[in-house]
A and B are shown apart, each in its own frame.
Chain A
Amino acid sequence: DSGVTQTPKHLITATGQRVTLRCSPRSGDLSVYWYQQSLDQGLQFLIQYYNGEERAKGNILERFSAQQFPDLHSELNLSSLELGDSALYFCASSVYAGGPGEQFFGPGTRLTVL
């Protein structure tokens, strides 16, 4: 158990819909990272928040957005869903704002878009 929690574990929805994925970081960690993992693309970095502020942006689509709240939990919002958005979405947390420090990954949310 990494100490990072993600809900829900599974999510099945239809094209065009909007969903929200939730992540609670490890106690004391200020950074939250979101990743998307698919068979063809592998694990792709989407976005990082540090203490409520956006810190770094990766391959995140404009249809996707995220935020980190004062209690440090984070939500990833996916809208106008397409079949190709079906993937595993991982949240990770870290003490650090950046650098080679360890990131602790949650168990992931499996999103299926039908």
Chain B
Amino acid sequence: TQLLEQSPQFLSIQEGENLTVYCNSSSVFSSLQWYRQEPGEGPVLLVTVVTGGEVKKLKRLTFQFGDARKDSSLHITAAQPGDTGLYLCAGLGSNYKLTFGKGTLLTVNP
């Protein structure tokens, strides 16, 4: 069974601070996705990383896929209250099934 561990589980910061959340596994994934989920809604895809070592930027969000394709990180610069939400990583295995981490619940206080 492929497992994804996300850390930290909870993060509460002030507006303007930087933060990094991590997604780690002992398994190799063919690709990894990051989603954000807001209360009462389904997850929304932010990015897909496919190549080991790949870095993708989405405005203030930077996503990195580890060289061995087992881990990933999400860095947010100058966080804003609108960034508040549950951040989920999901790895795509060789069987095309998505395995989700339990998420990092981020709160950005004004």
Contacts and interface: CB of A to CB of B under 8 A. Distances in A.
Contacts, number: 55
Identify the interface centre among B31, B97, B101: most chain A CB within 10 Å of its CB: B97
B35 to A, nearest CB: 8
Interface residues of B, number: 23
B28 interface: no
Contact of A103 (B98, B101, B102, B103): B98
Contacts of A97: 96
Interface string A93-113: 000011110111111100000
A103 B96 contact: no
B50 interface: yes
Interface of B: 30-31, 33, 40-45, 48, 50, 88, 90, 92, 95-103
Given A56-B95, A90-B43, A98-B96, 9 more contacts: A42-B100, A42-B102, A42-B103, A43-B88, A44-B100, A100-B30, A100-B92, A105-B43, A108-B42
